[in-house]
Amino acid sequence: MEIKHLQLFANEVQTTQSDGLSAEMKTFYDMTLIDEASPNLVHDQFGQKRPIPANGGKTIEFRKFAPLDKALTPLTEGVTPDGKSLEVNTVTATVSQYGDYITLSDVLELTAVDNVIVESLKLLGRQGGATLDTVVRNVLQSGTNVTYCPKFVNGVETAVTSRANLDTTAQLTVDVVQQVVAKLRAQNAPTINGKYVAIIHPYVAYDLMRDPEWIDAHKYAQPVNLYEGEIGEIAGVRFVQTTEAKIYTGSGCPSGLAVFGTLFLGDGAYGTTEITGGGMQTIVKQKGSGGTSDPLDQRSSVGYTRALAA
């Protein structure tokens, strides 16, 4: 079990592009895509939203001022002390575009029992949601502030310092959660509404939920106040569950084993960005819209695009 604690991606759906579709049909297709994509978007919900204005370029720079040291030396009467200079740390993010499409034949549209356009949009919606979620997750998982769960052999705890040294006894426990919380507090990492947040895989959540200190989400919050995917709380951390949590396999992992990653987040841990107007767009091309590239009007297509920082 590997844990990363952190101190770039928005979730808007913009206008629809299409050829020869009524306003009512545009709305129906757009809402289909939204409904299918939203359940997968877990990793970006805690990021600061910083959109880039249209025609403002592809890169955004996040700035953070370094804190000042304490001024513990008493002032001398009539003597002007040396002042301080501002120190600025910067992080940049560049927007890229993602998307995909499905080509439909005229024969398929004539003979299919189901509404193939709607079903295609459902598939693309699921794919789009998983794609955007994974892009954000991979950026978050690239952090280097890592804690490894210790191993237990015959009741003896052994510290682990690398992913390759983990084994099946290295599981996330309340004690490990408390250690991570202590590290975050020692770094003065701010909480999110009074608690830290962790993104966890269902298999890891299973181990943690059996602890008697675990509190199910419905016991402390109303449904409207829950995060997407939130399942419960323990040791001052609210846990969000997703099957899209990072799983490491292959090189760098214990032989024959997978390593599950859990992300611990404080407020302002990361930022997300998109170009204004570059949100998820549904694109439907009807038969006849292809011009000379489709001389017999045999093909139509449905797809989507999305611009985001990675």
Q: What is the pLDDT of residues 257-307, one digit of tens each?
A: 999 999 999 998 887 776 666 667 888 888 878 877 888 878 888 898 877
Task: Examine the pLDDT at 23 and tell me if it is beyond 70.
Answer: no
Task: Examine the pLDDT at 25 and tell me if it is beyond 70.
Answer: no
Is-contact 286 297, C-beta < 8 A?
A: no
Phi/psi at 231 (nearest 5 deg)? -120, -20
The total of other beta-carbon atoms located within 10 Å of residue 299's CB is 19
DSSP conformation class of 220:
T
Separation between Cα atoms, residue 180 and residue 82, nearest integer Å: 38
Phi/psi at 292 (nearest 5 deg)? -70, -15
pLDDT band at 202 (very low <50, low <70, confident <90, very high): very high
Tens of pLDDT, residues 128-152: 888 888 988 998 998 889 999 999 8
pLDDT at 7: 47
- Selected residue with higher pLDDT from 168 and 289: 168
Tens of pLDDT, residues 77-116: 989 888 888 888 877 777 788 899 998 887 656 655 457 7
Beta-strand relationship, 299-309 and 2-6 = unpaired
Average per-residue pLDDT for the chain:
82
Cα→Cα distances 161→1, 3, 85, 151, 270, Å:
12, 12, 38, 11, 25
pLDDT at 14: 36
Beta-strand relationship, 230-234 and 237-241 = antiparallel
Rg (CA), the chain: 24
Pick the CATH number of 2-63+88-141+272-309 from 1.10.3470, 3.90.820, 2.60.40, 3.30.2400: 3.30.2400
Element spanning 151, H or E: strand 151-153
Query: What tokens does 275 get?
Result: 């170009």
Maximum Cα interatomic distance, the chain, rounded to a whole number of Å = 92
Element spanning 182, H or E: helix 174-186
Separation between Cα atoms, residue 93 and residue 10, nearest integer Å: 13
pTM for this model (two decimals): 0.78
